[in-house]
Amino acid sequence: MRRVVLALGGTVAGLVMLLSFRSHTASTASAGVTAGSGGTGTSPGASSAAGSGSSAASGAGAASAPVSAGSGTGTAVTGDAIATPYGPTQVQVTLNAGKIVKVTVLQHTDDGVNSQMIDGHALPLLNNLTAQSAKIDAVSGASYTSAGYIKSLQSALDKASA
């Protein structure tokens, strides 16, 4: 169960990182990002579980209150609100059949132009990406390093299905 929570937390963190990387290439906003999560109906006690165990000692282990929106369309998982140089951001990811089917921004950045860049450009891209990734099993692309893997769509697929 702990692994599921970590996977989801990692995915949320990854999505937030993706936002940061896409819109602000020189930004270090992602460096301190943490994202905890709880899943509807799947992980009671997830918050406490996330803090224990050896493999839980990651940078993405901060626990947060579970937020449920699991209707017929999937299970929603909400990340912590995180501080970025452009204001606080919080995203919610909807999972269906182990795949990310939707990304919703619960709390937008409030930094004018930068905020508009993120909200108007990166987020639609992200949702487009997740719509596509919902139908694929794997990704082929130029060879990535271990570091590159972390940002890869393959990494997101591995985590979402693990």
Partner 1 sequence: MSGSRPGEPAGSAGPGDAAAAAGVTGISVTNPDLPGPGATSPGGTRIGRPAGRLRHAEHVMGTVFSFDVPASAAPALPEVLSWLHWVDATFSTYSGGSDVSRFGRGELTLAECAPELAEVIAECAVLNEQSDGYFTAWPGGRFDPSGLVKGWSIERASNMLSVAAKTGPSGTGPSGTGPSGTGHSVNGAGDMQCTGEPERGRPWRVGVAHPLHPSALAVIVAGRDFAVATSGTAERGAHIVNPHTGLPATELASVTVVGPRISTADAYATAAFAMGGAAREWAESLDGYAVFAVAPDGATWQTSGFAAYTAPA
CB atoms closer than 10 angstroms to residue 133: 18
| 153 closest CA partner among 135, 121, 130, 127 | 130
Task: State both tokens at 96.
Answer: 């269906």
The span of 27-35, 80-88, 108-116, 126-134 binding partner 1 (CB under 8 A) equals 126-134
Asked if residue 57 binds partner 1 (CB under 8 A), the reply is yes
Q: How far is the CB of 94 from partner 1 (least distance, A)?
A: 11
CA distance 53 to 103: 29
HSE of 118, CA atoms in CB hemisphere, 13 A? 28
Q: What is the 3-state secondary structure (H, E, C) of 82-105?
A: EEECCEEEEEEEEEECCEEEEEEE
70-109 footprint of partner 1 as x/- string (CB under 8 A): -----x-------------------xxxxx----------
Out of 58, 71, 73, 107, the residue judged to bind partner 1 by CB under 8 A: 58
Asked if residue 46 binds partner 1 (CB under 8 A), the reply is no
| 59 closest CA partner among 32, 20, 28 | 32
Out of 49, 60, 63, 123, the residue judged to bind partner 1 by CB under 8 A: 60
Q: How far is the CB of 32 from partner 1 (least distance, A)?
A: 13
* Interface contacts to partner 1, rule CB under 8 A: 1-4, 6-7, 10, 18, 22, 39, 42, 53-55, 57-60, 75, 95-99, 125-126, 128-129, 132-133, 135-146, 148-150, 152-155, 157-162
